[in-house]
């Protein structure tokens, strides 16, 4: 096997094997088949890059086919958005097709199947059909209408087509095997009655084919050679092949289905239903809200097509499900923008800085490099004057030793300009600093070559000349959810994990070179992150979106929280050993504060789970988390594990553990009742005064 062959992913290897076995290269054909019932998201981008990437690799056509078989949920708006996303990602399709193009052919094939005794009209209710289908461990049974005559089936099916029956009254089912171990093969639905307007066929049809029937047959009509879908369709493959068996004729390409692992991204949801809920409940501002994982949302936020394609290339094509860290997507974006985004200066939380020894009427236009990563980007002129804006966080009147920004008596450099020294401040009646007064070293201008200009100082600050500054609205976007897996927790709604700080709006000031920017233009605001111009922007009001920070703040926060919990567990040891009551109280206060500061639900759950073991300090830690966390409660823990925690804690030799578990049971009335006997026994035998005190507060 060559080096190139070793680097192939498994679907490419399947295609290579097909070609080696004699399949004609010119018969290769692929398709991307979205259902137009919502906007595409980053998960679809993986499928897009896979299918169109195969087309490019093998010089084969790739169709864009809309599987539009459910008019109740599909709209032309979604069709248009999907096409726009594909073009933006850089892909062109060979033919634009629709499953609705094939409605007549699909109907004709269904008639043939009825005549062959392979399909029948069922008039049961959906509930009765579900019972009749059995369970994964119990075979189904034949329904009362399974053996209708061909004539009656044809008559009823035509009546369904003509709109003679209400929705839900009849369905057409394939007649396969009600005892199959694959429940999808137990006489699946082929058609249902829907009196709905279709975005392309209008009111021509009163029946619509089910996805499982239409999808494979559509592949056959288009002569798709390799039908690639995600792993949840593995069990559908048998049905896919059965439907093809009914229509396949020799000398035509027979499609084959292959499955790959879908893209699962942490800190987001990929379900179209849940994304639609976010839109419909106005939790976000539409499908293209920059916090959404939709391609249109990512585009509006400032993501580049190249970064998304690179991301899909890095994660590859696999057979097993896994969860990709969103930080990898952000890394791909930073890597791309670092090469292409011009550097500019903007101040988002401004405080006035006055250079008291700079002439009042003087102004200079200093030279600033546009992008040090791109030699062809050139330079621009930036105005400098006596009064500037800097970031409020870049100044402390009295600063600690490791504060490398401006403070009284300390020097820093202004980017592309001069070295300044903090002299004094002006405060309002409330004691808030309103102005910072500094002096500058006239000989220290950047790039002048003077001895002073080469003097090293601790920090460099960005700034904007007040006289020349342009006001802008800056939308500071962050992740939409605070949990790694917001829709994976039992008894929890994914909306419980919304990030209250996912959008913050600042009134900022930008340098004058940005006066005539256009929607979609991208920049690095120096020291702040990457930003792009929003579609809401105009010459009268500039609007910028924060695309991504210069560093992964979430990774830093995650490490801090993990370290904080580890250190808190060490504090538990000190707390248990401390003999002085006052000192113990101070340690406990610190432990509680630490627990309350942790937002990461999954991390807290994992910590509780890991500490349910026969160790007093561990049991105490788990109980304290349940007692004091504002994010995790008893109902969030698996019942069996929670019962184990309670049971072991009540038997603990350490009074602190017994006190803590009783306080938790006091709030958990269901489990308090379950442990009534054990708690009652403890009341009779307990000797410790604090334990007795909390026991006496219980009311059975």
**Statement to judge: residues 97 and 223 lie in one domain:** yes
How far is residue 688's CA from residue 164's CA, in Å, rounded to a whole number? 79
Residue 182: inside a domain, yes or no?
A: yes
Q: Are residues 575 and 674 in the same domain?
A: yes
What would the DSSP string read from start to end of 484-527? SSTT--TT--GGGGB-TTSEEEEEEEE-GGGTT--TT-EEEETT
Number of Cβ atoms within 10 Å of the Cβ of 226: 23
211 marked ligand binding residue: yes
- Was 399 annotated as part of a binding site? no
Six-digit token pair at 392? 């409020």
Low-confidence ranges of the chain (pLDDT < 70): 1-6, 699-700
- Nearest CA to 499 out of 348, 278, 298 is that of 278
Which residue in this structure is represented by tokens 């049809």?
Answer: 205
**Domain final residue, candidates 462, 487, 514:** 462
Residue 163: inside a domain, yes or no?
yes
Domain shared by 229 and 190, yes or no: no
Annotated ligand binding at 437? The verdict is no
Residue pair 41/295 in contact (Cβ under 8 Å)? The answer is yes
Q: What CATH number is given to the structural domain containing 164?
A: 3.90.800.10
Asked whether 459 and 413 are in contact (CB, 8 A), the reply is yes
CATH of the domain at 314: 1.10.1160.10
> What is the tens place of the pLDDT at every residue in 589-635?
999 999 999 988 889 999 999 999 999 999 999 999 999 999 888 88
75 is in an annotated binding site: no
Which one is catalytic: 262, 352, 421, 479? 262
Backbone angles phi, psi at 516, to 5 degrees: -115, 35
Q: Is 125 annotated as a binding residue?
A: no
Q: Is residue 389 marked as binding? A: no
Contact criterion met (CB below 8 Å) for 611 and 621: yes
Domain assignment of residue 47, given as a range:
10-101+213-265
The answer to whether 358 is annotated as binding is no
Residues 319 and 413 in one domain: no
Please report whether residue 583 resides in a domain.
yes
Annotated binding-site residue? 142: no
669 marked among binding-site residues: no
Q: Are residues 669 and 566 in the same domain?
A: yes
Q: Of 31, 161, 272, 445, which one is the catalytic site residue?
A: 272
Does 36 show up as a binding residue in the annotation?
Answer: yes
Q: Structural domain tally of the chain?
A: 5
105: β partners: none
Query: Is 622 marked as a binding-site residue?
Result: no
Beta strand pairing status for 522-525 and 343-344?
parallel
Specify the pLDDT at position 700.
Answer: 61
Whether residue 518 is contained in a domain is answered as: yes
Regarding whether 568 and 525 lie in a shared domain, the answer is no
Amino acid 281: pLDDT: 97
Q: If we measure between CA atoms, which residue out of 308, 288, 305 comes closest to residue 297?
A: 288
Q: How far apart are the C-alpha atoms of 584 and 482, rounded to whole Å?
A: 33
Q: Quick one: which H or E segment has residue 119?
A: strand 119-122
44 is in an annotated binding site: yes
Measure the CA–CA gap between 208 and 633, rounded to whole angstroms: 46
Structure tokens given for 17: 């094997």
206 shares its domain with 108: yes
Residue of 29, 31, 35, 97 marked active site: 35
Q: Is residue 318 part of a domain?
A: yes
Say if 2 falls within a structural domain.
no
User: Which distant-in-sequence residues (6+ apart) come within 8 Å of 174 by Cβ?
Assistant: 113, 118, 119, 187, 188, 190, 213, 242, 243
User: 10 Å Cβ neighbour count for 520?
Assistant: 13
Task: Report phi then psi at 593, rounded to 5.
Answer: -60, -40
| CATH number, residue 75 | 3.40.50.620
Structure tokens that stand for 156 in this block? 């009823």
- Beta-bridge partner residues of 368: 380
191 annotated binding-site participant: no
- Tokens 């601790």 -> residue: 458
Q: Is 373 annotated as a binding residue?
A: no
Q: Is 67 annotated as a binding residue?
A: yes
Is 393 tagged catalytic?
A: no
**Residues 644 and 561 reside in one and the same domain:** yes
- 534 with 632, same domain: the answer is no
Active site includes 35?
Answer: yes
Helix (H) or strand (E) holding 363: strand 363-369
- Residue 310 included in any domain: yes
What is the predicted pLDDT for the residue at 560?
86
Sole residue written with tokens 């919990």: 565
Note whether 82 and 36 are within 8 A (CB): yes
Q: Is 43 annotated as a binding residue?
A: yes
**Could you please report the per-residue DSSP string of 206-245?**
SEEE-HHHHHHHHHHHTT-SEEEEEGGGGGGHHHHHHHHH
Q: Is 642 annotated as a binding residue?
A: no
What is the helix, strand, coil percentage profile of the chain, to 5?
Answer: 40, 20, 40
Q: Where would I find the H helices in 543-675?
A: 553-577, 581-597, 601-610, 616-628, 639-650, 655-667, 669-674
453 is in an annotated binding site: no
DSSP-derived pairing of the beta strands 387-391 and 464-465: antiparallel
Q: How far apart are the first and last CA of the chain?
A: 73
> Is 551 noted as a catalytic residue in this protein?
no
> Look-up: residue for tokens 């006239």?
442
Tokens of 41: 């998201």
pLDDT given for residue 2 in this prediction: 41
Same domain, 107 and 97: no
Tell whether 467 is covered by a domain.
no
357 shares its domain with 427: yes
Q: Are residues 124 and 43 in the same domain?
A: no
Report yes or no: 201 and 101 within 8 Å, Cβ to Cβ. no
List the CATH number of the domain containing 446.
2.40.240.10
Distances (CA, A) of 451 to 230, 365, 405, 443: 64, 21, 22, 8
Chain-centroid distance of CA 615 in Å reads 38
Last residue of a domain, one of 551, 581, 612: 551
Q: What is the structure's pLDDT at 645?
A: 95
Listed residues 508, 525, 551: the one ending a domain: 551
Closest alpha carbon to 584 in 592, 666, 622, 650: 592
């Amino acid at each position: 096997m060559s080096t190139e062959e070793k680097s192939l992913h498994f679907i490419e290897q399947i295609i290579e094997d097909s070609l080696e076995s004699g399949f004609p290269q010119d018969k290769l054909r692929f398709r991307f088949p979205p259902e137009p019932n919502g906007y595409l998201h980053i998960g679809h981008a993986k499928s897009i890059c896979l299918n169109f990437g195969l087309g490019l690799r093998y010089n084969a056509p790739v169709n864009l086919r809309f599987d539009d078989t459910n008019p109740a949920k599909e709209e032309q708006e979604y069709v248009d958005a999907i096409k726009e996303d594909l073009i933006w990602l850089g892909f062109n399709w060979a033919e634009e097709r629709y499953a609705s193009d094939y409605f007549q052919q699909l109907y004709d094939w269904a008639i043939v199947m009825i005549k062959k005794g392979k399909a029948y009209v069922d008039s049961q209710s959906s509930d009765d059909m579900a019972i009749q289908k059995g369970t994964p461990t119990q075979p189904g049974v034949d329904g009362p209408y399974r053996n209708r005559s061909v004539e009656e089936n044809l008559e009823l099916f035509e009546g369904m087509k003509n709109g003679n029956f209400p929705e839900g009254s009849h369905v057409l089912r394939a007649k396969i095997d009600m005892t199959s171990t694959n429940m999808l093969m137990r006489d699946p639905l082929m058609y249902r009655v829907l009196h709905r307007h279709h975005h392309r066929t209008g009111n021509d049809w009163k029946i619509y084919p089910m996805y499982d029937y239409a999808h494979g047959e559509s592949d056959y009509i288009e002569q798709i050679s390799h039908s690639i879908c995600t792993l949840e369709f593995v069990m559908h493959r048998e049905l896919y092949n059965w439907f093809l068996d009914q229509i396949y004729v020799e000398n035509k390409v027979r499609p084959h289905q292959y499955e790959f692992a879908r893209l699962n991204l942490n800190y987001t949801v990929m379900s179209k239903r849940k994304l639609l809920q976010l839109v419909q409940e106005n939790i976000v501002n539409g499908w293209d809200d920059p916090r959404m994982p939709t391609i249109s949302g990512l585009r509006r936020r400032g993501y580049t097509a190249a970064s998304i394609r690179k991301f899909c290339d890095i994660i590859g094509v696999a057979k097993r499900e896994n969860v990709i860290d969103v930080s990898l997507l952000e890394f791909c974006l930073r890597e791309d923008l670092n090469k292409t985004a011009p550097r500019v200066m903007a101040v988002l939380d401004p405080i006035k800085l006055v250079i008291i020894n700079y002439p009042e009427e003087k102004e200079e236009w200093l030279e600033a490099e546009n992008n040090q990563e791109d030699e062809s980007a050139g330079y621009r002129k930036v105005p400098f004057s006596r009064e500037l804006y800097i970031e409020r966080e870049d100044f402390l009147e009295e600063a600690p030793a490791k504060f490398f920004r401006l403070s009284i008596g300390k020097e820093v450099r202004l980017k592309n300009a001069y070295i300044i020294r903090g002299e004094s401040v002006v405060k309002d009646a409330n004691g808030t600093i309103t102005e910072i007064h500094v002096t500058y070293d006239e000989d220290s201008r950047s790039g002048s070559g003077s001895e002073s200009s080469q003097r090293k100082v601790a920090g460099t600050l960005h700034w904007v000349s007040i006289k020349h500054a342009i006001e802008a609205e800056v939308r500071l976007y962050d992740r939409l959810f605070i949990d790694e897996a917001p829709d994976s927790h039992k008894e929890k709604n994914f909306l419980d994990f919304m990030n209250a700080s996912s959008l913050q709006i600042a009134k900022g000031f930008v340098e004058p070179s940005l006066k005539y920017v256009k929607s979609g233009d991208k920049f690095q605001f120096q020291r702040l992150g990457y930003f792009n111009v929003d579609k809401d922007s105009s010459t009268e009001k500039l609007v910028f979106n924060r695309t991504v920070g210069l560093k992964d703040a979430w990774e830093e926060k995650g490490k801090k929280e993990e370290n904080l919990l580890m250190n808190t567990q060490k504090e538990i040891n000190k707390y248990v050993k401390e003999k002085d009551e006052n000192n113990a109280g101070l340690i406990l206060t610190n432990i509680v504060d630490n627990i309350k500061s942790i937002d990461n639900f999954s991390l807290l759950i994992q910590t509780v789970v890991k500490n349910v073991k026969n160790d007093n300090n561990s049991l105490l830690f788990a109980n304290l988390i349940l007692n004091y966390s504002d994010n995790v409660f008893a109902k969030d823990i698996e019942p069996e594990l929670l019962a184990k925690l309670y049971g072991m804690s009540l038997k603990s030799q350490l009074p602190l553990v017994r006190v803590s578990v009783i306080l938790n049971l006091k709030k958990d009335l269901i489990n308090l009742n379950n442990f009534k006997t054990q708690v009652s026994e403890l009341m009779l035998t307990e000797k410790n005064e604090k334990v007795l005190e909390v026991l006496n507060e219980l009311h059975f």
